[in-house]
Amino acid sequence: MSVDSATIVRVAHLARIAVAPEEVARLEAEFNSMLGFVEQLSGLDVSDVEPMTSVRPMQMKMREDVVTDGGYPARIVANAPASEDDFFVVPKVVE
């Protein structure tokens, strides 16, 4: 499988990464090199194989559904690029 420049632009948007028009050709080449590499898997029949979903066979841990942490908004917003009164300031979302 290989991708074209329209796919690169679509995937970049899905990934929320701005791509300049002049970068598209280079990304297309790199992408196709990587896809060519993973293409090796098509030679392997896995129709009877279960996918691995847990690295070690173990039960999912459960805990009480209670609040165990929190109550320090100043720490939460301490790294925000912009904040006001313990809220994150974001660009306008609703017109």
Task: Pick the closer one to another protein by CB: 5 or 88.
Answer: 88
Cβ count near 8 (within 10 Å) = 21
Q: How far is the CB of 85 from another protein (least distance, A)?
A: 15
Shortest Å, Cβ 11 to another protein: 5
* Least CB distance to another protein at residue 67 (A): 15
Cα(83)–Cα(86) distance, rounded to whole angstroms?
6
How far apart, in whole angstroms, are the C-alpha atoms of residue 53 and residue 67? Answer: 28
Q: For residue 35, count other CB atoms closer than 10 A to its CB.
A: 12
> Which residues form the interface with another protein (CB under 8 A)?
1, 3, 7-8, 11-19, 27, 29-31, 33-41, 44, 46, 49-53, 55-56, 58, 60-61, 63, 72, 75-82, 88, 90-93
**Could you tell me the smallest distance in angstroms from the CB atom of residue 66 to another protein?**
13
Structure tokens at 17: 């990464």
Judged by CB, which is closer to another protein: 16, or 66?
Answer: 16
Q: What gap in Å lies between CA 80 and CA 88, rounded to an integer? A: 7
